[in-house]
Structure 1
Amino acid sequence: MVQEVKETRDLLEEFRRRLEEVESKVREMEEREATRDAELVTLRELETRRKIETAQREANSVVAEVERAEREAQLDLELARLREVEKRAQELEALAASPSPLATAYLPEIRPEPQSFPAESAKPVPGPAAVLSRVVSRVHKRRRPQPDTTSSAADIFEPDSFSALPSYVLFVGLGVCAVVLRVVLKRTAGRQLRS
């Protein structure tokens, strides 16, 4: 009887010892699992951070490429606009240099008057505005109607306003403006290309 109790007690001790070993192994496994999970989380965070940095670099590269393309497109538009303005100025200059048949059809007959310019020959050449005003004043000199003509269309009168001027004066003014505009455009385009 005593022997059986002793054997039972030994069995219980053996069972408790094995149970403690199993619990210890379970704790070690749980600790290893927790460590591995923490390492996995760290690796995932590093991978996520690396992907974010790569995406940011790619986004910055795309933004820089888009900005460069926008700058090039804007420069192309500016260049095309300058070429269009220069072309328009050349067209206006050509139009002013060769008057149209419609403008020459309405030119009044100007009879040359004998004049001498001894004092004016030594003066410097006047500017476009002075030439234009001198031409207008000579063309529109007040004259009396001819006695042998019945129509007053051949009469030349002094205009009261700019709207009363004939159309060819407008073409002369456009030619002067075209020349000035072309010079200004060439200077501004040269400055922009140098900068």
Structure 2
Amino acid sequence: MDIIRVLIVEDDPVWMKIISDMVQKEKGMIVVNQAFTKEEALQVDFSNIDVVLMDLTLSENEDLGGLHLSKQLYEKGLKKIIMLTSWDEPAIILESFDTGAINYITKSSYRDIPKAVREAYYDNVSFNADVSTLLVNELRMERKARVLTPAEREVYILKEKGLNKTQIAKKLFKSVETIKKQWKTIKRKIQ
């Protein structure tokens, strides 16, 4: 059986201990490095890392330092990065995937970490329940919107976010009548 070598990047000592202890108790996994800061993480020897568990917020100075670090590590060849966070905002979740994360787990679901580490190691794409609904909804919206012009797409996305025609018109600096006409065309195209 392969031993999965894990790097944990977490600035909170309590969470570092919880995550590290959990990983160490798992058969076939070992924590080979712990980094409490972005700087420490960048000094790690990446040749002996299989999976990275990355905290999204690494310091008070940089709210989403884990996003930036994730992108840097991805560019250095670490392709199996799992974001760990208490954030559950859709835009941040999607940006995490844009910067190289392969999974996203909220800290309230920390018990799912060992399974996610194994799946990442074996290249099994499986999203944690924390993000699966969001990703399916984004996929549905993207597939529907692909037939739209860029202007129609803007309107469609805002409508999907719950804005009404007046709010969309105000946000896009268009008349309500223009939005109504565009919405009519959009409905025809996506149905």
The structure whose Rg is larger is 1
Higher relative contact order (CA 8 A, sep 6+): 1
Higher helix share: 1
Q: Is the pair's TM-score, using the shorter chain for normalization, greater than 0.5?
A: no
Superposition TM-score, scaled by structure 1 size: 0.21
Superposition TM-score, scaled by structure 2 size: 0.21
